[in-house]
Amino acid sequence: MVPLSLLTKCSKMAADKFEDDGGHSGTYLDKPWKNSRIYIDAKQLWTKEDSDFMDPIIECVRQQLMDLFDLPDSPTTLPVEAAFVNYYVGNGNQPRDMESGDILGTLDCQPSTSTPATQVSLRAGDALVLAEGYHKPHPVEMDEKRLVFVIFFAALEAHK
């Protein structure tokens, strides 16, 4: 969904931002979390300085989804609920290990917690669309890095 040239450019800017400024501190699943740079949360802009690498990715994915689902091209179509970038470095056997970089990933995805998971492998530029689904990342291998752009749009049903 995202051309490799755009992904490479935005990934480099995001990785540099992590190297220079780090991520935002918080918690996720009751554990310390520092490997996200939150751009938008609850439709509110958090980190304006990340717009250079977040806006192009968001607009590219948004346009692809509008085309895929034949949605009208309007500013009110697919508004962003939340957008952030995660940056992982493999330091052992945990899926969320992080220090300060852009590797491929594998996720276990399932439509509900009562259904079996399907393994999905992603390559650079791929997008995974989860409509009320669940996912669990596989661990980042030792010394490998993974950079992930995450975007939550408003529900498609609201725009039919």
**Tokens (6 digits) for 37:** 């740079």
Residue by residue, pLDDT tens for the chain (160 residues) are: 888 899 999 999 998 998 888 888 777 667 667 778 999 988 999 999 999 999 999 999 999 989 988 998 887 888 999 899 988 776 655 544 444 336 456 777 887 778 888 888 777 667 677 766 666 766 777 777 788 898 888 866 544 4
Note the pTM of the prediction, 2 decimals.
0.77
Q: Phi/psi of residue 51, each to 5°?
A: -65, -30
Type of residue numbered 65: L
